[in-house]
Structure 1
Amino acid sequence: MPPQLAPVNPPLGPRPATADFFRPQQVTLEMKEKVFSLSGDDFTVKTVDEGNITDVCQCKGKAISARDKKKFTDMQGNELFTLENKLLSFNKSMRGVSPSGEHDFEVKGHFKLLGTHSTCSFTNAANGQEVAIEIKGDWIDRSAEMTWDGKTVATIARSFFNVREILGDQQTYFVTVAPNVDLSLIAALCVSLDERANED
């Protein structure tokens, strides 16, 4: 059973809160690991709660010639942001660049002998506050936690009830996201961690 995560108030994310990406209830995202190194294809981020499958956003790796860029769009094809590597960064860093430049974020990796430690920084759209989400855990095993201000905003795990047997495969993992947290941001953090792990 996934953990019960407390709602986050005000809504947390670099983009203004909308019903497409912010949910009043806890949701679980289905993600694929190494998706671009395996196929280079686009993939759709979905919620998989209680048999209710909903498309959230798409991540496109094929349409962009630069290997290190991933474009995220809503389900109508409108660009949300492009995830790109920061050049000349010692510890792998990526940034999300929105079309307007107003909803950007940065993901910085920190050197660690064991496990994963990264920080995602952005200006919160709801109140203008500078935010840093800490991501810690064992990314190889897909067991990690995202926290902000002492609160857990998302957890990552290999299995989710028996959904894996129904929908998933060895490349599938699940992210439980607290209410009022930007789902597209959490999906982007997972992709950036995956990209970093593939290059380590």
Structure 2
Amino acid sequence: MSPQLAPVPQPIGIFNQFIAPHSETLILREKVMSLSGDSFEIKLQSGQPLLRIQGSVLSLSGRKSVFDMAGNHLFDICKELLHLIHTTYAVEDPSKKKLMEVKSSFTLFGSKATATFTSANGTAEALEMKGNWFDTAADIIDKKNGAVVARIDRKLLSGRDLLFGQQTYALTVAPGVDMALMVALCIAMDEKNNDEKR
């Protein structure tokens, strides 16, 4: 059973059509036979498809394009190459306008990153992701009030995932939070940690 998260006081996110109506768990699974190795399918825990992420094979920035199930291009996730100290990812709309920035920082144990963006209602947001990414879990926390807005859990590995080295995550999103942006945060951290392994 997935953990339930408390609702946020006001909506957090950019894509109103992806605001979670209740505590919702998504399953992010890297496609086993993807040519780029960086394509994901995102489904609700019920099995209903939500988003599709397609990696670009020849991109220096590791660009990933995110589409809804109707094929609409929502945004891209890409590494910003000019940042030397802190790994930084940008979430850009199809016209390359930056919607969100995800910047990692050093920690002695575990992983930490901060995402900044402006919600659809005009509120400046800062979310911090911290936890033991390599082991099992990470929380995404609203820096204004310390509330957990999403939780990432990597305990859902199947034998097939281990055999093919593919990633599978459960992402639980609090009511009132943009599920698409939480997926973008999860993918950015996955990319950062994959870069560190190379």
Uncovered stretches (5+) of structure 2, i.e. residues with no partner:
none
Pairing 1:42-191 to 2, within 5 Å after superposition:
42-48=39-45, 52-62=46-56, 65-67=58-60, 68-89=62-83, 90-100=85-95, 104-125=99-120, 127-148=121-142, 149-159=145-155, 169-170=161-162, 171-191=167-187
Quote the offset at 1:23 in angstroms: 2.5
The answer (yes or no) to whether the contact 2:31–2:41 under 8 Å persists in 1 is: no
Does the 8 Å CA contact 1:10/1:180 hold for their aligned counterparts? Answer: yes
Q: Which one is further off, 176-185 or 97-106?
A: 97-106
State percent identity of aligned pairs: 40
1:12 matched residue in structure 2: 12
Pick closer, same or farther for the CA change 1:77–1:61 going to 2, 3 Å. same
Report if aligned partners of 1:58, 1:73 keep a CA contact under 8 Å in 2: yes
TM (norm. structure 2) is 0.84
Distance in structure 2 (CA, Å) of the matches to 1:175 and 1:26: 10
Indicate how the Cα distance of structure 1 residues 7 and 36 shifts in structure 2: closer, same or farther if over 3 A, else same. Answer: farther
**2:39 partner amino acid:** D
Cα offset for 1:111? 1.1
Normalising by structure 1, what TM-score? 0.83
CA distance in 2, matches of 1:97, 1:169: 30
Tell me if structure 2 keeps the 8 A contact 1:33–1:194: no
Q: Is the 8 A contact 1:14 1:105 kept in 2?
A: no
* Distance across 2 between alignment mates of 1:139 and 1:35: 21
Q: Is the contact made by 1:7 and 1:179 (CA closer than 8 Å) also made in structure 2?
A: yes
| Gap change, CA 1:172 and 1:191, over 3 Å in 2 | same
- Cα shift at 1:181: 1.1
- Distance in 2, Cα, partners of 1:37 & 1:115: 28
Query: Is contact 2:80-2:88 (8 Å) kept?
Result: yes
Amino acid at match of 1:45: I
- CA shift, 1:187, in A, is 0.9
Match of 1:30 among 9, 13, 27: 27
Query: Is there any run of 5+ residues in structure 1 with no aligned partner, and where?
Result: none
| Contact 1:56/1:183, CA 8 A, preserved across alignment | no
Shift of 1:199: 1.2
- TM-aligned CA deviation for residue 35 of structure 1: 7.1
Instruction: Please state how far the C-alpha of 1:34 moved relative to its aligned partner.
Output: 9.4
Give the SS at the match of 2:47.
strand
Deviation of 1:43 (Å): 2.4
